[in-house]
Structure formats: C-alpha cells, structure tokens
Structure 1
C-alpha cells in the first residue's frame, strides 16, 4: 500500500476516535478546585459513578460473504446512572439545557435516566467487486458516518429511548477509504465500483423505541429466563420505518438491562440501572439469547438512493426482518457479546437473505 494512503487513512481513524473521546470528555463533570462536584440535596452525582464504553463491530465476513450490509462499526459512551439529568451538578450547563429538552420526550414516573453519545460508520456494497460500471440490478455503493445522541429512561419493567442521529451519506462518509484500508491490510481484492456510490447528503434520523420486560423467571434453582419486547419508529431521510420485536434470554445470570444490542439505532444494551444501583457490570455470568426484529420500511436511502439528487437506486422490499442468536459473558467491569444475524431480502433481485456476525465489547470505567 502506498505510504501516503496508509498515513491518510490512519489519521482519519485517529481523528474519528479522538473526536468521540473529546466529546465524551466534554460531557464529564464540572468539578470544583478539589476535583469534586458540588453536592445538591437529592441528586446522585454523576462523578461518583462509572460510565460504560462500548465497541461494536458487525461484518458479513463471519458468514463468508462480502456484500450488501458488509461492515458496521460504532463507539459509544454511556453516562452513569442519573436520577436527574437536568440538575446534576456534574454535568456542564450546556448539557443540562440539552437534557431539559430531552426530558420533555420522556414524561412519566421513571426511576433513572442516562445519556449515550455514539460515533459510527456503516458501508454497503453490491455483490460483484470487480465491476467498475454501474450495476443497475444490485444495491448501490453507500456509506454512512454519523454522530448519535440518545436518552434512556427506565423503571423496573420498561425503558424508553429517544435518539437523534446526524451525519453524512456518500463520499463524505469515508466508507470507500475505510474499506480499501481494511482490504489492503488483509490482502483482499478491493471493490472497484465506488465511483458509483450515492452522492453526498446530510443525513438525519429521529428514533423512538420502547422496551418492556414481559417475563422474568429467576428462581434459586435452575436457569434464569426473561423475555423483552420492543417497538418503535424512525423518521428521517436516511431511514423511516416502524419496527417491533422480541428477545428471549436464558442463563446462569441475566444483566439488569433490556436486551442485547446490535448497531441498530435506539438499542444500546447498557440501560440505566434501578435507582438503588450504582454499577452495571458488577456480577459474573453467562447467558444465551435469541431475538427478532420486523420492520415496515417507508424509506431506506441505501436502497432508495439520494433524497435531493439523482442517484442509483433499487426497488426495496417494504417488510424486512432480522433473526439473531448469540451468547454473552459478563464479568466484573466488562462484558462481551457475540451474535449471528440473518436478515431477509431487502430489495427485488437480491439473491438470498444475508447473514452477518456482531461483536460487542463493553467496559465500565
């Protein structure tokens, strides 16, 4: 690989990681001279509780393919548990003002809340990597680079999530450069048709989702079992859909959260804890899970093409579903999850359903 390309791409990935780190750091405590937050009656200080940092990686290499939804990566920072995220003395004032707007979206008797900041990238390619011309009967080349802001509010059996994603579709997503970099490192042939990718477009998505724990069996003898339903919607020029689904978990230990999280918006696995708890990753255990999600899709820019300019597009299917099975291991301070997903055909002419793998690593600090 030419040195200038290696340096350029390396700087790109460093800049992405640095931007997330800087943003998350900016949301930390407004400490006094002694490094402590000023206490206020009835407020659990953010500074006294650990945050969670998540790394998500999804790729179809786990299924031996390299097309369609071919890669997704996301880093996220999950704030400590907050009873009040408007008056908490450890949050900067600008964050409190943003949260004042957000809390109006989550009215109700919730025990606790938290905030999530994410930075992610997704890439989509057709099947034939050798063709340079436009492949009219296969999905468009596309990338999506985005920053996400999410707010969770929960009680014992319910969690509501609101998320806003903003980013770029097209060459500005840097999906082409990221894929070339990884393929060069692994000695894999490059995809030759990136000149046909979607045009640059500012992307926005507003996402709401509710999760409910509808079953919980936790006797002292035998495995623990629970079931968690979810339903919601997304609005925006990137994706607009209605979705609903379910997850079943069984194991020696089940985390006190609301299920396993893929990169899908509004599905972060690190829910706020009950008001009496201070840490998420405090116990050790293993559990297995199966889940499904069904979507009625009104818009998918990665299939429908650009909103405000002419671009390649295909005829999408309006009903799409995902089925997943996996295993998760949690220890004190960390958690790792692996899942294999099967996604139904998304557009007319697609050869077969797609399979891909997902790895999530969570660390509490």
Structure 2
C-alpha cells in the first residue's frame, strides 16, 4: 500500500485540475483532444494472498497510483501538460521516443514489499529471499504508430528502511488481523535505485474488433537497465471479449497496460468486457530484491537467470470506469525457493 507520507500527495494530484486537465488552466489545450482521448487515473493493488492460501511471501504486496495524460502533440510544449511536466520533459529529451502518430505521458508512484516464507523468525534466513521494501516514482513516455507502440519509462526510488516497508506491512496486517513478519531488522540497507525500461509492442489484427465479439493479440519485447533491475524480456498477450479496447494489453503488470497507452477511438459506449491471457520471459542479470545491495554487503540469494510469468484475468468497462482482476504464476526465482510464486492484482481506472 502507499505510505502515509505519499497519500496526501496522491489525493492532491487526483483532485488537481491543474495537473490532470491543464486545458482549463492554460486555455489552449484542444477540447476535442480531451473529449476523444481524456486523461485517466489508475490505482492498482497487488497481493500474494490473492494467489491462494499460505501465499503471504515473495512479492508480498504492492500498490501503484498512475496519472495518464491525454494524447499530446509533443512532450515539451503541449498545453495539455502542466508547466512542471513540460520543464521536466525538457531535461529528459533523450528518453522521448520520437515523432509518431500519437503519444502520451504517464506519471506513477507506489511501493512493493518482498518477504521470505517464515514470518516468525527474527534471525537472518540465509536460504530465503531478503526482506525488501521498494518505493518508486515512474515517468513514462508512450508513442504509437498504427498498431505499433514504443514505451520508455524511468523509475527512481529507494530500497531499505526509508521505503517504509515494515511500517506499511504492519499497518495492513493489523487491519486484517494477520500475523506480522518479525524479521524486518534484516532488510536491505538504504540505497537509491533507478531503472530505465524500454519496450516495443505490436497488436493484431490491424483493424481491431471494437464493434462486437472479437479477439486480438499483442506481442512485446524489450529490456531494462539499472541497479534496481537489469534484464531482457519478451512475451505476448491474447484477449477475447465484447468490444475490445484499442490499446496494447490489459495486464496491469505490463508497462503499457492499465489503459495507459494512446488510443485511436477512445473507450466503447456501454458495457464491454474481455478475458486475457498474458506471458513474459526474462533473462535477468540483476534484481536487487534477490542480489542484495549494490555497494554494501547484505543478504542475498542465488537467483535464477531465466524467469517466466503467465497470467490470466478479466477486465470490465462501463463509461468512464474500468476494473481488471488478474492472477499470475511465476517460475522459481532463486535456488532453494520452496514454492512457485503466485499473486493477484486488482486495478480500478477512471477517465476524467
């Protein structure tokens, strides 16, 4: 869950028209663009308890709050972005994907918690994963040409006690009446972290299926570099349902998922829903949640270089609202891992 320190900022951004609908402030943002491609707010909660009984381990819990811009003319001068975002983008031009038919920007922040299996032990559990809390801010740039999408994200944050992982997990477990984890004194040391991610996606069939029953498929490939994580990955997603959205996937775990990519037609009128099946394979060179601190001695485990995910879920949309529920199964991430990780995710999204 989000820490109490972040919650006031999240609420302020959520209700601030100067951040989300800068057309009212600048008076220059085209109303047609806002009408056809409105900004959106997404909130996602991940928890391994959604994966089944006795699953409070591994990637234990996470939450992310995301703001999505309308489609933009560019990243530095478009009046649909607030002045602060335009100033920031002027210093991050190397991350911009270039000139495309459509483009937008996302801003997100959230937290992830990672814990070993045994919550009762206070000593260092050498053969299980470290205790890790991660607090992150993400800046994302999406650019679309037809059924092709490029997405680039820069994540900045902190691992260690300053990420407030222990405090947040204790608060959540107190509310739920669950047992607390006793080994947080062994968590990783404070360390600033970053991750630069780039993915490319393609969607089939090219004409879409927005009018009725249909299917589509989205392939992806890319990678990331940073002391938070370094890997190369590839995979895909298949969807079947009623009035499929004109986007690049429904999996909340994908960088361009959660209805964050530019759309050509906006959302369908009335009810729409679909099922989705997603997969991803990664060649992992570094994962701080398994390898431990970069510049200091800390707890670590022998990670496996090849990791795969498969997920499935359902998405339902009505008017400005979208709900998605998904479940993920992951291969073992390190030698000696007792169980294969299973966790669930719930996302709620609203256009403005």
- The normalised TM-score by structure 2 is 0.90
State the distance in 2 between where 1:149 and 1:140 align: 27
Q: Which of 28, 49, 58 does residue 39 from structure 1 map onto?
A: 28
Q: 1:266 to 1:219 in 2, by over 3 A?
A: closer
Question: What 5-or-longer segments of structure 2 have no aligned partner?
Answer: none
Match of 2:311 in 1: 324
1:84–1:112 Cα contact (<8 Å) kept: no
Match of 2:39 among 20, 33, 51: 51
Q: 2:229 aligns with which of 228, 239, 249?
A: 239
**In structure 1, what is the Cα distance between the partners aligned to 2:108 and 2:99?**
27
**Contact kept in structure 1, 2:323 and 2:347, CA below 8 Å:** yes
**1:114 corresponding residue in structure 2:** 104
Matched, 1:343 2:330: yes
Match 1:334 to one of 308, 321, 328: 321
Q: In structure 2, how many angstroms separate the alpha carbons of the residues matched to 1:29 and 1:254?
A: 26
Kept after mapping to 1: 8 A contact 2:258/2:347: no
How far apart are 1:96 and its partner, in Å? 2.1
SS at match of 1:311: coil
More off after superposition, 153-162 vs 47-56 = 47-56
SS at match of 1:87: coil
232 and 283 in structure 1: CA distance in 2 versus 1, 3 angstrom threshold: farther
Which residue number corresponds to residue 65 of structure 2?
75
Aligned-partner Cα distance in 1 for 2:246–2:11: 27
Residues 203-236 of structure 1: per-residue CA shift (max 9 Å, x gap): 1111111111133575799730100001111111
* Secondary structure of 1:15 counterpart: coil
**1:222-237 matches, cutoff 5 A:** 223-237=213-227
Among 308, 325, 328, the alignment partner of 2:295 is: 308
Aligned 8 A contact 1:293 1:321 in 2: yes
In structure 1, the partner of 2:48 is 60
- Please tell me whether the aligned partners of residues 83 and 111 of structure 1 are also in contact (alpha carbons under 8 angstroms): no
CA–CA distance in 2 between the matches of 1:320 and 1:220?
Answer: 34
Of residues 309-318 and 49-58 in structure 1, the stretch that sits farther from structure 2 once superposed is: 49-58
How far apart, CA to CA, are the structure 2 residues paired with 1:86 and 1:213? 28
Contact 1:44 1:83 in 2 (8 A): no
Distance of 1:168 and 1:18 partners within structure 2: 19
Aligned positions, number: 347
Relative to 1, partners in 2 of residues 1:237 and 1:252: Cα closer, same or farther, differing over 3 Å?
same
- Aligned twin of 1:169: 159
**Alignment match, 1:291:** 278
Superposed CA deviations along residues 224-275 of structure 1, whole A, max 9, x for unmatched, are 010000111111101000011000000112111100233454545321122x
Aligned to 1:3: none
Deviations 1:182-201, CA, capped at 9 Å, x for gaps: 11111111111110001110
Q: Secondary structure in 1 aligned to 2:66?
A: strand
What's the offset of the Cα at 1:37? 3.0
What is the rounded CA distance, in whole Å, between the counterparts of 2:185 and 2:68 in structure 1? Answer: 37
- Structure 1: segments with no counterpart, 5+ residues: 1-8
Q: TM-score, normalised by structure 1?
A: 0.87
Mapped pair 1:187 → 2:174:
no
CA distance in 2, matches of 1:146, 1:16: 11
- Equivalent runs, 1:72-221 vs 2, <5 Å: 72-100=62-90, 102=92, 104-215=94-205
Task: Verify the 8 A CA contact 2:71 2:262 in the aligned structure 1.
Answer: yes
Q: How far 1:16 moved relative to its partner?
A: 1.0
